[in-house]
Structure 1
Amino acid sequence: MHDYRKLRVWHDAVELAVEVYQLTRSLPAEEKFNLVSQMNRAAVSVGSNIGEGAGRATNGEFIQFLGFASGSCSELITQAVIAERLDFGTMELRTAVTQRATSVQKMIFTFIKTLR
């Protein structure tokens, strides 16, 4: 078992969720149950999967949950592109989300390598 609260990747994932919530607050009200909901769930999923995986019994299980977290990063990047194409939110917030999600995803891949 790992203490996820000591992992930089988990802290960055939490910050990613905060940035996503800041972005989605600026999206149109009619997107509340569509893109907003989808982005918020994916953002929360990143840190949650890192935390849940850290509490598992084996590194293999942890790696599986890190994979889920990485997938959620890919979802967020895709959703930020969709928001950009629809001209939702500010470029600054969209860029921050995309950069943070990409950074967290790279950290996850590196961490997986160390666990193997």
Structure 2
Amino acid sequence: MGSFTELEAWKQSRKIRNIVSDLVKKFPVDEKFRLADQIIRSSRSIGNNLAEGHGRFHYQDNIRFCIVARGSLTETLDHLIIALDEKIITEEILQSFHPEYESCLKLINGYIQYLKSKKMGE
């Protein structure tokens, strides 16, 4: 496999990162160093961990980073739920994020399964 940028899971994580980046620009100023900072960090962590895992020598290392990426994806969704509860975003915005979340989750899980099957063939 070539670069991590060819991974479908990474491409979807990039899309999520860009959605979050655009969304937090509309957050209230008093949330800049609280919720906005946290959601930016968690959304960036998805792709960061996929990239770092891809650069590892062993399949198990890559799998471990993919699991962390999956956790960051779920954390990002939780931050959006908090934004909804705090009335920073609407239910419609949250619902529009769900397909992106589900797509990324499926891609990461599929990639983990692929890596596990490759590991078994080592």
Paired with 1:45 and 1:16, the residues of 2 have a C-alpha distance of: 11
Equivalent residue number for residue 109 of structure 2: 109
**Displacement of 1:55 after TM fit?**
0.3
Deviating above 4 A after TM superposition, structure 1's stretches of 4 or more consecutive aligned residues are none
**Displacement of 1:90 after TM fit?**
4.4
CA RMSD in angstroms comes to 1.5
Equivalent residue number for residue 68 of structure 2: 68
Paired with 1:98 and 1:24, the residues of 2 have a C-alpha distance of: 17
Structure 1 residues 33-44: aligned runs within 5 Å: 33-44=33-44
Paired with 1:18 and 1:92, the residues of 2 have a C-alpha distance of: 18
Equivalent residue number for residue 22 of structure 1: 22
Residue identity opposite 1:73 in structure 2: L
TM-score, structure 1 as length reference: 0.91
Equivalent residue number for residue 88 of structure 1: 88
TM-score, structure 2 as length reference: 0.87
Q: Point out the structure with max Rg over C-alpha.
A: 2
Paired with 1:103 and 1:75, the residues of 2 have a C-alpha distance of: 15
> SS of the residue aligned with 2:27?
coil
**Displacement of 1:16 after TM fit?**
0.5
Paired with 1:46 and 1:2, the residues of 2 have a C-alpha distance of: 19
User: Can you give the 5+ residue segments of structure 2 that lack an aligned partner in the other structure?
Assistant: 117-122
Q: Say how many residue pairs are matched.
A: 116
User: Can you give the 5+ residue segments of structure 1 that lack an aligned partner in the other structure?
Assistant: none
Deviations 1:60-86 (A, max 9, x none): 100000001000011011111111111
Deviations 1:31-57 (A, max 9, x none): 011100000000000001000100000
**Displacement of 1:2 after TM fit?**
5.2
Paired with 2:38 and 2:98, the residues of 1 have a C-alpha distance of: 15
Paired with 2:90 and 2:2, the residues of 1 have a C-alpha distance of: 37
Paired with 1:48 and 1:42, the residues of 2 have a C-alpha distance of: 10
